[in-house]
Amino acid sequence: MSQPHFLLVTIPAQGHINPTLQFAKHLIRIGVRVTFITCISARHRMTKVPTAQGLTFLPFSDGYDDGFQPGDDVDRYLSELRRRGKEAISEFITSGENEGKPVTCIVYTLFIHWATEVARKHHIPTALLWIQPATVFDIYYFYFNGYESTIKAQADETNPKRSIKLPGLPLLATSDLPSFVTASNVYRWGPSLIQEQMDVLADEYNPKILVNTFDALEHETLNAIENFNMVGIGPLIPSSFLNSNDSLDNSLRTDLFQSDSKDYFQWLDSKPKSAVVYVSFGSIAVLTKQQVEEIARALISSRQPFLWVVRNRKDGGEEEDKLTCREELEQFGRVVPWCSQVEVLSHPSLGCFVTHCGWNSTLESMVAGVPVVAFPQWTDQWTNAKLIEDVWGNGVRVSANEEGMVECDEIVRCLDLVMGDDEKGMEVKKNVEKWKGLAREASMEGGSMDMKLKAFVDDVAQAGCK
């Protein structure tokens, strides 16, 4: 049997590219040749292009080679991404067939479901790489498959704590649902894309859904949908978390943002064990001026050393312009435009992580064994925050006031809880250690993840031979 050749396709966003590269790493390790496709705009911003034996990196133009800009039309962008993406994939597949290097399988991530149209045309199997938790996939599935009216009836915005019960899931409140469900009028493009994804899967016989999670973390939710076989193949995290000298890991890590320097590591080295508050809201969220000020006041009030990622305007953030007390802040901590999150979370001085709860950050904090202050902003982050506080217990979630603002005192309260040694703080730390051990066990080389991927590759190969 010839060497399997997988085509991985993702949108040009850091939170999508990084777990897909980790997935590519595991495929290469078990003997799969990988072609990684994303947009030129991501290539332009990469600090280094992913390189490895067995990997081909293939950027294509979506018509927005300088990236999607504020004010650009979302619908037009998505239309061009779909049209040009389908053309690029089809041309690559045809070229490979002519050269005797056929594609064995196409694996696509969130918002790239149109890749299945190309795959069907060329009679190639496909798989969805779901880069959010299984719980969020289940919520979307039930919402678009018979439970929409139930969710809307129970989701009473005047009573955000009212319970919503869905099969196989923990009790949810309105505030625990993804914003594509609760704020569909704001993110009108989101629900339609998710529904298209569910329709694509419904049309397939035995659809393959690979989820960036692991059995111990989401066993029930991985098995909540009778129609689908969802397989946890995560956590898709860098091996450096595991003290592994993995050459593949080093070559397949990239960043779309840059830090001016890494002298913050010297600063971290100077701090006591488990003392530093790390604050980062990821690569997309932009906070209001008032929210930035509330966070700043909380960090000053807490008197804890902190490392705060405040993206500058060049990187699509505006928080840097909103800081009015930077000089006072830097008496206690460091403010940086970006940092190497994996290395920061792994540093012994880290005491907690104030995070937007993006799924990559959630898993990385879990593997690193760092308690979390959950500060969600949109999409799946609301559900992730619910899971962190109420299901896994490895952190606490901030509460906003009636205007949606998280005030200084509330942030300090949460910091004191996870950094303190009272009953709640000790319970969080105990859960942090539990999930750290289980997450690392799941991601060990040669472990259950590799076994599942080998079974998946074999299944795809057999399907291609029929």
Residues carrying an active site annotation:
16
Residues 6+ apart with CB under 8 A from 396: 372, 373, 374, 389, 414, 417, 418, 424, 428
Question: What distance in Å separates the CA atoms of residue 429 and residue 423, rounded to the nearest whole number?
Answer: 10
CA 225 from chain centre, in angstroms, equals 22
CB 325 within 8 A of CB 344: no
**What is the C-alpha end-to-end distance of the chain, expressed in Å?**
14
Alpha helices in 189-259 (DSSP H): 189-202, 215-222, 247-251
CB 96 within 8 A of CB 103: yes
In the numeric block, which tokens belong to residue 78? Answer: 């998505």
Reference 442, options 434, 333, 313, 118; nearest CA is: 434
Residues 6+ apart with CB under 8 A from 96: 5, 102, 103
CB atoms within 10 A of CB 408: 18
DSSP H or E segment with residue 359: helix 359-368
Question: What distance in Å separates the CA atoms of residue 289 and residue 293, rounded to the nearest whole number?
Answer: 6
Residue type, 462: Q
Task: Classify residue 262 by its DSSP letter.
Answer: S
Question: What distance in Å separates the CA atoms of residue 400 and residue 436, rounded to the nearest whole number?
Answer: 29
Q: Which residues pair with 402 in a beta bridge?
A: none
Question: What distance in Å separates the CA atoms of residue 412 and residue 233, rounded to the nearest whole number?
Answer: 36
Residues 6+ apart with CB under 8 A from 22: 236, 237, 238, 252
In the numeric block, which tokens belong to residue 327? Answer: 């000089």
Task: Classify residue 145 by its DSSP letter.
Answer: I
Reference 22, options 62, 59, 55, 61; nearest CA is: 55
